[in-house]
Amino acid sequence: MGLVIPSLGGRVSEVSSRPMPSRTMIGYSHVSKSFGHLKAVDDASLDIAEGEFLAVVGGSGSGKTTLLRLANRLIEADGGTITVEGEEVRNVDPVALRRRIGYVFQSGGLFPHLSVADNIGITPKLLGVATAEIDARIDELLALVQLDRTAHRDRLPEALSGGQRQRVGVARALAAKPRIVLMDEPFGALDPLTRDALGDDYRALHRSLGLTTVMITHDMTEAILLADRIAVMRGGRMLAQGTPVELSKSDDAYVLELLRTPRRQVERLNALLPQSGAA
Amino acid sequence: MSLLSDPRWGEALSHLPDYLGNHVRVSLAALALGLTVSLPLAILTRNRPAPRSILLALASIVQTVPGLALLALFYPLLLAATSLTLAWFGVSFSAFGFLPAVLALALYSMLPVLRNGITGLNGIDPALIEAAEGVGMTARQSLVMVELPLALPVMMAGIRTAAVWVIGTATLSTPIGQTSLGNYIFAGLQTQNWVFVLFGCFASAALALAVDQLLGLIESGLRRRSRLRSGLGAAGIAALVAATLVPSMGRSSSGYVVGAKTFAEQYVLSALLRDRLQAAGLPSTARSGLGSSVIFEALKAGDIDLYVDYSGTLWANQLHRTDIKPRAELLAELKTALTNDNVTLLGELGFENAYALVMPKTRAEALDIRTIADLAAHAPKLSIAGDYEFFSRPEWAALQKAYGLSFRAQRQMQPDFMYAAVASGEVDVIAGYTSDGLIAKYDLTALDDPRHAIPPYDAILLLAPKRAGDERLKTALTPLLGKIDIATMREANLRASGNDANSSPDAVAKWLWEKVGKR
């Protein structure tokens, strides 16, 4: 008994029992992007299947955020091909592209001068959705991300806790009913309890809504707990990708080290904490 | 208590609708124009460092030009522009009053609006601009929905600063013909009417505070998304504009405008002329405190209808003559020359207001100085003071040349302070005016000019080109011609220099008419 990584085994079997994904929602093929002399993304290739939850793991400066932003053209690629739902992004109007892809920013990225409701409803508003419909959608989303309508709807973001803000961030990303959600270290700045709850809640939303999610994180534990598949980046290059089980068979020392870290932490915790206190 | 019960408060109050109304109109028009130019410039240059720093440098340079000079510069500039448009397109506009004031003040308002606008827009967390892009905003939507609202507090602070500056500086637009609260201050300084000076200062300060508070209300309304607050603020500004527009609506704009330069004698004479016209059933207003170089051009352009000038002044400034002729000859020649400009020289009032070198009687006797020639020998040990224009006038050059004058020091002074300064020995000699009542009051003497370096300065009545055939006007004014002798004018000027209720230009003008009307 004791502390184990509870869902690791289950998750892996769940993924492997699922039929092979038929459609590529986001495809990177030999993509490069440089900022001056710095190669932020270097010949990276990666396919994300429909319904998949993919985590991109890497240290700071590994190019993971750049990779994410290339998908909705917040950053333009220098070379290679990026497709979203089969279309090459360079042929799609970037504003229209961003409106159909949900994006959760690192520390919420909420507009401080807009209420929770107006933050959530921004993309539908930009798309010209009728006000009544937006209002109904906002209420629906508040329920979905488990925020209290009366207590939070008309608040300004500054009146919310960090966790509540990030729930609003998730709701805003989902407002225009996207099929794809990109998340840039969405839970990184939260305390561990909040972070855990939010991750689980989002994972449930991802499944029930049939989303395709790409999440950036520097935390391998989080990646293993939430994602179906993990892509590891280092120095702009795509080092490895696969399920946690597949990654554990990697021959790359950095990847193996990343994977070993969570287990080692658990072992140290088990040694430090009395068994009964763990509950 | 006596200060509070002074009847001049009442007189000041009676001018308030006119002065305040004009002040509000010119300030708000300038501010609106300034914002219309500055805000788009701030937005356009927010991500362009090079044009941004050039723009800010230019705006800073404008700010270093004194307000009075900036306003004065726009008059000749527009005068040149209007002669060009007249030559090219056959249309002209008035280079006088409102237009130059609005342009100069708008320029003056730009720095705080630009600087705060750029600072506000550049100070936004880049993550928020990224978020705006990420949720699918176009650049324009990001500007309107995110950047401008977030920069608003800083931008509004700049707009409020600009508003206070413009309202304060607008008091300086009086000399270029724009009526403003500055009329109180200029008239008050010239006629030593401290009630007027105080009134003008308080009124413009109160206006600046009120507009600042209303803008603050709008700002907090926008920030808190309270329509009530921003609505109240906007309604307040609108009410201010409406309140200042209504009283001036009923006033006929076809009345005669009597011009006056910036010294007490001119204030008195313009009040006298205005009263005479009104007595003859001709609606008229006085436009006082006009710069000496502005006033003749304003007459030529028809912005004012009549005023009193001095033969020697026009001889030198308009005809650019440096030779001196006897009084009658100079007048005849001047009259002919003025017809080229279609300006009518109706006639002389009867006195001369010439420049004269003035010193205390006792001092002159002690040094045995009777004439300017006597003075020349002592000049290197003495100091001289003159009004703001004297030392750049041809008369001064002529005096220096004729007598070989060279003083130890020369100073420029507010004319009304010169006499006290020379009486107290702060300066030794002043370039005073022969019609000034203070010469007698301070027991001063005007030195003789045996070589006739100073031309005659007969007070003459001039009419605008459009009034050349106006017989009713001429009939109303004729009773004044030749009636005001130098002694009477000196006494009038002395009265005007007092600091009591009887010393207001209106009161002195009435006294003057009682003296000369029966003649």
User: With an 8 Å Cβ cutoff, are A96 and B136 in contact?
Assistant: yes
Give pLDDT tens digits for B374-417. Answer: 999 999 999 999 988 888 877 888 889 899 999 999 898 887 78
Looking at chain B, which residue has its C-alpha nearest residue A120?
B135
Residue A191: Cβ within 10 Å count: 11
Q: What is the pLDDT of residue B516?
A: 87
Strands A24-35 and A38-49: antiparallel
The alpha carbon of residue B416 is apart from the nearest alpha carbon of chain A, in Å, by: 57
Least confident span in A233-242, B290-299, B475-484? B290-299
Q: Answer yes or no: do B441 and B480 share one domain.
A: no
Q: Which two tokens stand for residue B356?
A: 């004269």
* Cβ density class B291-322: b for 16+ within 10 Å, e for less: bbbbbbbbbbbebbbbbbbbbbbbbbbbeebe
| Mutate which: B135, B143, B156, vs A, most A CBs within 10 A | B135
Q: Answer yes or no: do B127 and B276 share one domain.
A: no
Supply the CATH number for residue B497's domain. 3.40.190.10
Say whether pLDDT at B4 is over 70. no
pLDDT confidence band for B85 (50 / 70 / 90):
confident
> Do residues B346 and B476 touch, judged by C-beta distance below 8 A?
no
User: Which one has a higher pLDDT value, A8 or B48?
Assistant: B48
Q: What is the mean pLDDT of chain B?
A: 87
Q: What is the pLDDT of residue B415?
A: 77
Say whether pLDDT at B278 is over 80. yes
The reply to whether B454 falls in a domain is no
Residue that terminates a domain, selected from B189, B224, B249: B249
Say whether pLDDT at B141 is over 60. yes
User: With an 8 Å Cβ cutoff, are B132 and A103 in contact?
Assistant: no
Among A173, A75, A95, residue whose Cα is nearest residue B139: A95
Token match 């949900």: residue? A102
User: Which one has a higher pLDDT value, B199 or A276?
Assistant: B199
pLDDT confidence band for A76 (50 / 70 / 90):
very high
Say whether pLDDT at A15 is over 50. no
**Chain B contact present for A172, CB below 8 A:** yes
Least confident span in A153-162, B94-103, B193-202, B306-315? B94-103
Contacts with B128 from chain A: Cβ below 8 Å: 109, 111-112
Contacts with B223 from chain A: Cβ below 8 Å: 113
pLDDT confidence band for B354 (50 / 70 / 90):
confident
Supply the CATH number for residue B51's domain. 1.10.3720.10
Q: Answer yes or no: do B506 and B466 share one domain.
A: yes
Q: Answer yes or no: do B363 and B511 share one domain.
A: no
Token match 């400009």: residue? B341
Residue that terminates a domain, selected from B231, B249, B267: B249
Q: Answer yes or no: do B371 and B347 share one domain.
A: no
Work out the angle at residue A84's Cα, subtended by the Cα atoms of residues A78 and A89, and round it to the nearest 5 degrees: 40
| Sequence-distant (≥ 6) Cβ neighbours of residue B388 within 8 angstroms | B412
Q: What is the pLDDT of residue B253?
A: 54
pLDDT confidence band for B505 (50 / 70 / 90):
confident
Q: What is the pLDDT of residue B247?
A: 57
Q: What is the pLDDT of residue A22?
A: 63
The fourth-level CATH superfamily of domain A8-16+24-278 is P-loop containing nucleotide triphosphate hydrolases (3.40.50.300)
Question: DSSP letters along B7-67, please?
Answer: HHHHHHHHHHHHHHHHHHHHHHHHHHHHHHHHHHHHHHTTT-HHHHHHHHHHHHHHHHS-H
Judge if pTM exceeds 0.90: no
In DSSP terms, B426 is beta-bridged to none
Residues B496-506, mean pLDDT to the nearest whole number: 80
**Chain B contact present for A156, CB below 8 A:** no
Q: Which two tokens stand for residue B501?
A: 């209720």
Q: What is the pLDDT of residue A173?
A: 94
Give pLDDT tens digits for B145-155. Answer: 999 999 988 99
Q: What is the pLDDT of residue B160?
A: 93
- The C-alpha atoms of residue A24 and residue A97 are separated, in whole angstroms, by 16
What's the gap between Cα A71 and its chain centre? 13
Q: What is the pLDDT of residue B179?
A: 84
Write phi, then psi, for B95 (nearest 5 degrees).
Answer: -90, 15
Write phi, then psi, for A210 (nearest 5 degrees).
Answer: 65, 40
| Mutate which: A76, A99, A125, A126, vs B, most B CBs within 10 A | A126
Say whether pLDDT at B328 is over 90. no
B296, HSE (Cβ side, Cα atoms, 13 Å): 19
> Do residues B480 and B349 touch, judged by C-beta distance below 8 A?
yes
Total domains in chain B come to: 3
- The C-alpha atoms of residue B6 and residue B21 are separated, in whole angstroms, by 24
Q: Answer yes or no: do B185 and B85 share one domain.
A: yes
- The C-alpha atoms of residue A189 and residue A19 are separated, in whole angstroms, by 35
Say whether pLDDT at B8 is over 90. no
Q: Which two tokens stand for residue A219?
A: 């935390």
Q: Answer yes or no: do B142 and B194 share one domain.
A: yes
| Complex ipTM value | 0.85
Contacts with B225 from chain A: Cβ below 8 Å: 113
User: What is the percentage of chain B residues whose pLDDT exceeds 70?
Assistant: 97
The beta-carbon neighbor of B134 closest among A103, A107, A112 is A103
Contacts with B138 from chain A: Cβ below 8 Å: 95
User: With an 8 Å Cβ cutoff, are B137 and A95 in contact?
Assistant: yes
The reply to whether B46 falls in a domain is yes
Q: Answer yes or no: do B165 and B301 share one domain.
A: no
Q: What is the pLDDT of residue A278?
A: 46
| Residue span of the structural domain in which B302 resides | 256-352+459-516
Question: DSSP letters along B187-256, please?
Answer: HHHHTT-HHHHHHHHHHHHHHHHHHHHHHHHHHHHHHTT-HHHHHHHHHHHHHHHHHHHHHHHSS-TTSE
Q: Which two tokens stand for residue A129?
A: 């959705």
Residues A42-60, mean pLDDT to the nearest whole number: 93
Give pLDDT tens digits for A95-142. Answer: 999 999 999 998 788 999 999 999 999 999 999 999 999 999 999 999
Give pLDDT tens digits for B433-458. Answer: 888 888 888 889 989 888 888 888 99
Give pLDDT tens digits for B181-218. Answer: 998 888 787 766 788 889 999 999 999 999 999 999 98
Least confident span in A102-111, A165-174, A227-236, B90-99? B90-99
- The C-alpha atoms of residue B205 and residue B23 are separated, in whole angstroms, by 12
pLDDT confidence band for B175 (50 / 70 / 90):
confident
CA distance readout (Å), B305 to A76, A163, B400: 69, 76, 36
User: With an 8 Å Cβ cutoff, are A99 and B136 in contact?
Assistant: yes
Q: Answer yes or no: do B381 and B241 share one domain.
A: no
Q: What is the pLDDT of residue A276?
A: 57
Contacts with A109 from chain B: Cβ below 8 Å: 127-128, 130-131, 134
Say whether pLDDT at B21 is over 50. yes
Q: Answer yes or no: do B190 and B166 share one domain.
A: yes
Least confident span in B2-16, B87-101, B380-394? B2-16
Q: Answer yes or no: do B76 and B181 share one domain.
A: yes
> Do residues B233 and B217 touch, judged by C-beta distance below 8 A?
yes
- The C-alpha atoms of residue A18 and residue A194 are separated, in whole angstroms, by 30
**Chain B contact present for A105, CB below 8 A:** yes
Q: How many CB pairs under 8 A join A and B?
A: 53
Q: Answer yes or no: do B164 and B28 share one domain.
A: yes
Contacts with A99 from chain B: Cβ below 8 Å: 135-136
